[in-house]
Amino acid sequence: MIKMADYSRNSLMQFINTKPKDIEICDVTLRDGEQTPGVVFTKEEKIAIAEKLDSIGVEVIEAGFPVVSSTEEAIVREIAHLGLNARVCCLSRAVAKDLDVALRCDVDFVSIFIATSDLHLKYKYHKTFEEAQSCALDVLDYAKDHGLTVRFAAEDATRTDINTLKSIFKAAEDHGADYVSIADTVGILNPATASYLVSEIKKTIKTKVCIHCHNDLGMAVANTMSAAEAGAFQLHTTVNGIGERCGNAALEELLVGLRVQYGIERYDVSRLMELSGLVEQYSGLPIPRIKPIVGANAFAHESGIHVAAVLEEPMTYELFAPEMVGGKREIIIGKHTGSKALKGVVQKMGYNLSREQMCSLLDKVKKCSEAKKKVTCDRLGEFIKELE
């Protein structure tokens, strides 16, 4: 019997000692995911998503940005009082009134963010770095004085001079920050620079490092995994990778990547398909068919050579079993289907056709597919009846 672990993990990994030593997941679907243009979650939807995230084993859920509205504040407070195993946090600007609202929500900790790049300082804040840092540290002190656990986040960290970033993170650590967070706000990182940046920051501070990656260049998950290898502790995600512009690091891709690449199996990934569908429904954002892990084509096979092999041993063309993530395999009959694959499908449908009948059936399938008509099992059954 072939075990998945024998073939799923990249054989090169045995030569590379880069397995993340200690991590936790902070899912930000309810906050950053909701900042996707046109997306709004109701209270009931946010609660349903939070409970599903909790059932998967996500350690931290960012429930929202409570200063946005009284409704948002009430929802964050309710999620904080659900009694979840996951800790609940919320977002706050480096403004005292934001902290006052966060305190009313009874969250486990608060994420205070301040932009640190010259670009943001000049065009968004119209302040010097020293002025912005002073405001941020004052609010950090205010939060710690009120007993809050604090994540100190540098917005646009990846376009900030690295010595400036080290300086403000060291100051935050000295003021009692429990985490410092690198926000790749415009998705400029690649795996090499993500690893380098985390490694450099860890040379300066002892505080736990968080990584928050956006997907503007399509590398958010890869960057997050690379950052984890370099020692980032808290990894930020959203379900289906939703978020501003091109979205964030996708939770489902990261969790399966951690399992397949590094053997990190403490998350219940069998619930991923269900969670993904829930967020697709609530957000109104359709999941692309070719989306890894949860897309409709993730476990679909049409090519004749592929289908024939999959029918004999699925791992020939599947990195992991669809059941692992709550999915199912689909054999597609179409233009690229070969006779062996078609025979396997037909036999599974309960038919035993002659060689001549199989040839005729294959010809019908290819003509139908080339006319851009889908060959469903029902249609295939109709073709078979026509041969009798």
Q: Report the pLDDT averaged over residues 224-229.
A: 98
Assess whether pLDDT exceeds 60 at residue 314: yes
Per residue in 269-302, pLDDT (tens digit) is: 999 999 999 999 999 999 999 999 999 999 998 8
CA distance 166 to 335: 57
Is 370 in contact with 336 (CB distance < 8 Å)?
no
CA distance 337 to 149: 57
Cβ neighbors of 19 (< 8 A, separation 6 or more) are: 13, 229, 262, 263
Instruction: pLDDT band for 12, please (50, 70, 90 cuts).
Output: low
Assess whether pLDDT exceeds 90 at residue 372: no
CA distance 172 to 180: 8
Assess whether pLDDT exceeds 90 at residue 113: yes
pLDDT for res 1: 38
CA distance 87 to 85: 6
Structural domains in the chain, CATH included, are 17-283 (3.20.20.70), 300-387 (no CATH)
CA distance 106 to 77: 6
Q: Of 298, 289, 345, whose CA–CA distance to 318 is shortest? A: 298
State which H helix or E strand residue 61 sits in: strand 60-62
CA distance 11 to 1: 19
Strand pairing partners for 92?
112
Per residue in 37-80, pLDDT (tens digit) is: 999 999 999 999 999 999 999 999 999 999 999 999 999 999 99
Mean pLDDT over the full length of the chain: 93
